[in-house]
Chain A
Amino acid sequence: MAKHKMNLMVCGGTGCYASAKGDLVKALSEELEANDLSGEVQVITTGCFGFCEKGPIVKVLPDNTFYVEVQPEDAEQIVKEHVIKGRKVEKLLYKHPHTKERISDSVHMDFYKKQIRIALRNCGIVDPESIDDYIAREGYQALGTVLGELGPQKTIDIMKESGLRGRGGGGFPAGLKWQFAKNNPSDEKYVVCNADEGDPGAFMDRSILEGDPHTVIEAMIINGYAIHANEGLVYIRAEYPLAIKRLKIALNQAREYGLLGKDILGSGFDFDIQIRYGAGAFVCGEETALIQSMEGERGEPTVKPPFPAESGYRGKPTNVNNVETYANIPVIINKGASWFASIGSKNSKGTKVFALAGKVNNVGLIEVPMGTTLREVIFEIGGGIKDGKKFKAVQTGGPSGGCLTHKHLDTPIDYDNLIKVGSMMGSGGMIVMDEDDCMVSVSKFYLDFTVEESCGKCSPCRIGNKRLYEILERITDGKGKKEDLDKLRNLSTVIKEASLCGLGQTSPNPVMSTMDNFYEEYEQHVTDKKCAAGSCKSLMSYHIIAENCVGCTACARKCPVNCITGEKKQVHEIKQDLCIKCGNCMEVCKFNAVTII
């Protein structure tokens, strides 16, 4: 970075990429070229900044100007005004929703105020394709400390003291996991980075690999050294081409610098990393299934114990951690265990990255200290519910998490609290729902995903989830019976208790938590055949309010199935048996004469 006096960091995340009306990087580069500035100013595609709601985002370094909603046509202005004249482009700065004040540095935005970035510390700041950039930000310093001063056991002790727990979902203490792997003697051991991010909507691991791949590499080397493994593997989804590309570049750079390979930093320790591609099965995020898949077997979990720390890849002791867990490790070594342990709650230390989505104003990737409340996340960072609607529920932990409600808003988010209230941390998905969301449909939606992603090995998950889904479908179709609710409960319990792996053991969570928190909604569907949120089509019907109808025939003309009858200037009628509930009539009526019952 030192070579250039200015850097334009363009977010390469999916959100920003999708909201750009063209190639932003190309536009900026061409503009710089046109102004003969290519030698001095560099355009870098970087990892996600997090504030996806306001994408595409361009950050200007070194002055930290944070431009939002930048389109290719703005390139000229950014270059002519900001780069050449040093004047910020006012219209591209973030406007505070209430004060309407323009904010130029992200640290002053509500979205970022409560965030502490540890795992994401370098995302959007370093050039992910430059090892020098990473080194300039204390990169590979932790590795030096570990190899030069600490030695394996002290490193593990620091991990244990830090209280870092696995960020992939289970929340198992990372230090303890390392200790197990170290204690199991073997001629061969493996370190595996789980980059098979499978939760729909979660993209923190991808963002880290795209924005800061070296941190993962550094942590894996440290991990290998601590447990006496000489080989590392990154199991990554093949659908992450940019992350793979960056990882490959980073691996080659690390090899060139002698940070991977034989005798790393003269310590006598050998370590290298290979990449393995996953084909996108959710269950392969489960560590035993992941190992099966890496061995070329069908991606199915195996019974634990034996845990991978005893018998993992190729039957050898293997330590599996996910990307976000690894991203914390170099910082913990650099800043110390007690620094890390000072952040977060009693039994959950440090921060957690969440993919905040759904009906909030500010969707995006956030990193907050453990113990932050749901209220802070949704209403402060997230900026509250969209379109002034009412908050109804928040789903945490991805498809196998639970739906929490008003009464949980002040629950501090950490591993144990979320489990206590019937949800889980998962890999950090967080989807906010408003009054228009039907909770039965929501749980059906999640179950649809787990039914699809179950590997089929054990009976409760293979058949049970399917049956759960079918019952929910019956209920949302208005064919539910009272006893279906008991069946839902019993099935959920059995699937949870009797399934083989984490997928089945958590898949009924959406059903169970919505039944716990919104039971009356289920009852309404079953007994009154009503969906209060108005989202279950089978349970609603369109009707014409006679006193409002003027007989303008607009609805009848718009109806695609010709189910509205009535003479001009006469009250119209909707034939219920023909209606397909498309809602066109309601949309087109200017007299508020169509209603949903």
Chain B
Amino acid sequence: MQEKIKVTINKKPIEVEQGTTIYKAAKELNIHIPVLCYMNLKDMGIEHNPGGCRMCIVEVEGARNLPPSCVTKCTDGMEIRTNTPRVLNARKTVMELILSDHPFDCLICAKSGTCDLQKMAQDLGIREIPYQGEQSTYREDTSPAIIREIDKCINCRRCETMCNDIQTVGALSGIYRGFEAVVAPAFEQNLEHSPCTYCGQCVAVCPTGALTEVDQTNSVLGALADPRKTVVVQTAPAVRAALGEEFGMKAGTLVTGKMTSALRELGFDYVFDTDFAADLTIMEEGTELLDRLGKHLKGDKDVKLPILTSCCPGWVSFFEHHFPEMKDIPSTARSPQQMFGAIAKNYFAEKIKVKREDMVVVSVMPCVAKKYERSRKEFSVNGDPDVNYSITTRELAHLIKQANIDFHTLDDQDFDQPLGESTGASVIFGTTGGVIEAATRTAYELHTGKKLDKVDFKQLRGMEGIREATVDMDGTQVRIGIAHGLGHARQLLEDIKKGKSQFHAIEIMACPGGCIGGGGQPLHHGNSQILIDRQKALYKEDAGKAIRKSHENPFIQTLYKEYLGEPCGERSHELLHTHYFDRKKRWIKK
């Protein structure tokens, strides 16, 4: 235990641990210091304090300048003032400077209302900008999933920390210098020509409108308004555990029924569940796992293990960009979003006698990368994508608010059938560890031929970045690895590359926490308790389901019987599986 030190802040004394920053000490005294570039995702071990924005400056007795409180550590006897005229004037001037190089289009900005810069300008009472001059302008960069409107970048560099340190993707970094300095892909290329995986973690932390998701709500409204179209919506498991937060509900409030109601009220013709497709994924991926595992156990040297999950589009892009030499290791099963799209536009459209081109499939996802995934060419038939639009949880909340739907008073409704039928296994797809647990439940029964009494595999659950566990399948010890966050995924991949990996199967999700922490979710501002609460909600829904194993989903069974045949069979391969590409060559010059 280190000795405590004494400081005073605004004449109030406080004792703090050695190494405590002024900002944190002030917080303990309930003294608010505005911060802009600072970001503390403490439960993820991420503290971003480059000391760049200079909004959190304070006055320290004896110091010549005004140090930034977010990064300056308290020293014994320090006398700190957070609100002297000198500090307030400097803070205001710095804010005026930042605003002087920021576009004034708040009225139509995607971040308006949730913008940290806007809020701080209001808090500081800025009413005019005395230091007007040239504004920096950059090319707008629109990718299938993320828009970079870099004129709005304030150089907080949060995105850079997420992209480089946490996700180890390396798509964004500071370029140019002085007034031209900005965060961009190398050589100011577009995101599409960078190793970006569209995981959206940059979007999730951007304090301004510089990084936003591609907004498809207007296109969705257009489709809903078009009488010729049959509009089908699917909602991902993690959405129901977070959507309520956008309406002021506590994190972890399950709003499945209200969400279904709201979607129906918005005018969707069929409200279905991506969970159904998650069960289908388990059938395909589980069968593939058992096939490879079985061959491996029989001594087949050519079989590729570990098998890696493939439901996360950020993760798929990651290995396509960074580990293309390993692209035959992941499962070839499409993600639930795409399986749903394929079944809806083929099987379901046929069934309700709607022409493929008259059906519009909308997905509601916790994810930014899903927008990119839906745009991949291999998921289109003659230019008609299996999933027409993918909107995030945040976008759905916008739609509901736009339609003046009082979310709180909505009644709980069920999904439509048949593509609304799901099991507990599919619900937990939304959290780290969930996909592999769902797969284990099914694989166990298929492999052993025995009934699984205890379906909870607690050893697979948790929040640590990398986890490992062994599942005993009636004598066969299956070693499982789990990683969430691409930085952690990289560690596991490096091990595989070096031949050090002992795992039979690995589940990877690109976002910290899995889909519950996706780039399209309500902003959690680094409060990982929110993620834990969302996770709990999913496990709760799972526990409450009558059927908790994917292969027991009665409609899945019907679907195979009526339409698909066998898991991993010919039709499944055509509709439910995919292949991967080497994308490294797109951004590395030969």
Contact = CB atoms under 8 A, between A and B. Distances in A.
Contacts of A455: 177-178, 181
A117 interface: no
A459 B97 CA distance: 7
Contact of B173 (A298, A305, A467, A493): A298
Given A453-B177, A462-B181, A497 B66 contact: yes
Interface string A462-475: 11111100100000
B94 A497 contact: no
Contacts of A494: 89-90, 93-94
A498 B57 contact: yes
Given A497-B66, A497-B90, A456 B176 contact: yes
Main secondary structure of the interface of A (DSSP, over half): helix
A463 B177 contact: no
A497 B86 CA distance: 10
Contacts of B128: none
Interface in B24-64: 49-54, 57, 64
Nearest to B67: A303
A500 interface: yes
B131 A467 contact: yes
B174 A460 contact: no
B90 A463 contact: no
B178 A500 contact: no
A456 B90 contact: no
Contacts of A491: 93, 131
A335 B148 CA distance: 62
Given A456-B174, A494-B93, A303 B68 contact: yes
A351 B167 CA distance: 52
Contact of B50 (A281, A451, A457, A464): A457
A302 B98 CA distance: 20
Contacts of B131: 463-464, 467, 487, 491
Interface in A487-514: 487, 490-491, 493-494, 496-500, 505
Contact of A490 (B51, B72, B89): B89
B181 to A, nearest CB: 2
Given A490-B89, A491-B131, A500 B51 contact: yes
B71 interface: yes
Contact of A457 (B52, B86, B89, B133): B52
B155 interface: yes
Given A298-B174, A467-B97, A462 B179 contact: yes
A458 interface: yes
A305 B90 contact: no
Contact of A463 (B174, B179, B182): B179
B180 interface: yes
Nearest to A474: B133
Given A305-B73, A466-B133, A460 B176 contact: no
Contact of A456 (B49, B72, B94, B179): B179
B421 interface: no
Given A454-B177, A454-B178, A494-B93, A459 B100 contact: no
A40 interface: no
A298 B177 CA distance: 10
A281 B178 CA distance: 11
Interface residues of B, number: 38
B65 A463 contact: no
Interface in B524-548: none
A300 interface: yes
A487 B132 CA distance: 11
B24 to A, nearest CB: 15
A500 to B, nearest CB: 6
Contacts of B52: 457-459, 500
Interface in B163-215: 173-174, 176-182
A379 B182 CA distance: 47
A452 interface: yes
Nearest to A303: B51
A121 B49 CA distance: 45
B72 to A, nearest CB: 7
A370 B173 CA distance: 44
Contacts of B105: none
Interface in A560-584: none
A460 B65 contact: no
B178 A459 contact: no
B97 A460 contact: yes
A360 B65 CA distance: 36
A498 B54 CA distance: 6
Given A303-B71, A459-B52, A491-B93, A498 B65 contact: yes
B130 interface: yes
Of B68, B72, B94, chain A has the most CB atoms within 10 Å of the CB of: B94
Max chain A C-beta neighbours (<10 A), residue from B52, B101, B180: B52
B94 A457 contact: no
B508 interface: no
Contacts of A493: 90
B254 to A, nearest CB: 42
Nearest to A467: B131
A460 B72 contact: no
A500 B71 CA distance: 11
Interface in B88-141: 89-90, 93-94, 97-98, 100-101, 130-131, 133-134
Contacts of A499: 54, 65
A429 B542 CA distance: 73
A470 B53 contact: no
Interface string A11-46: 000000000000000000000000000000000000
A94 to B, nearest CB: 44
B65 A457 contact: no
B9 interface: no
Given A463-B101, A466-B134, A496 B53 contact: no
B154 interface: yes
A463 B134 contact: no
A34 B71 CA distance: 69
B197 to A, nearest CB: 22
A499 B89 CA distance: 14
B460 to A, nearest CB: 36
B33 to A, nearest CB: 14
A283 B178 CA distance: 10
Interface string B410-433: 000000000000000000000000
A22 B133 CA distance: 48
A266 to B, nearest CB: 43
B130 A460 contact: no
Contacts of A497: 57, 64-66, 86, 90
Nearest to B131: A467
A231 to B, nearest CB: 27
A491 B89 CA distance: 10
Contacts of B101: 463, 466
Given A303-B68, A456-B177, A497-B66, A462 B73 contact: no
Most buried by B among A281, A302, A494: A494
A465 B181 CA distance: 13
A460 B90 CA distance: 9
A281 to B, nearest CB: 7
Given A494-B93, A497-B90, A460 B179 contact: no
7 contacts: A455-B177, A456-B177, A460-B93, A462-B181, A463-B100, A498-B57, A499-B65
A-B residue pairs, 10 tightest by C-beta: A456-B181, A454-B178, A303-B51, A470-B133, A463-B97, A494-B93, A467-B131, A466-B179, A498-B54, A303-B71
Given A451-B179, A463-B100, 16 more contacts: A298-B174, A303-B51, A451-B178, A455-B178, A456-B174, A456-B178, A457-B174, A460-B54, A462-B179, A463-B98, A463-B101, A466-B178, A490-B93, A497-B64, A497-B66, A498-B66
Interface of A: 281, 283, 298, 300, 302-303, 305, 451-460, 462-467, 470, 487, 490-491, 493-494, 496-500, 505
Interface of B: 49-54, 57, 64-66, 68, 71-73, 86, 89-90, 93-94, 97-98, 100-101, 130-131, 133-134, 154-155, 173-174, 176-182
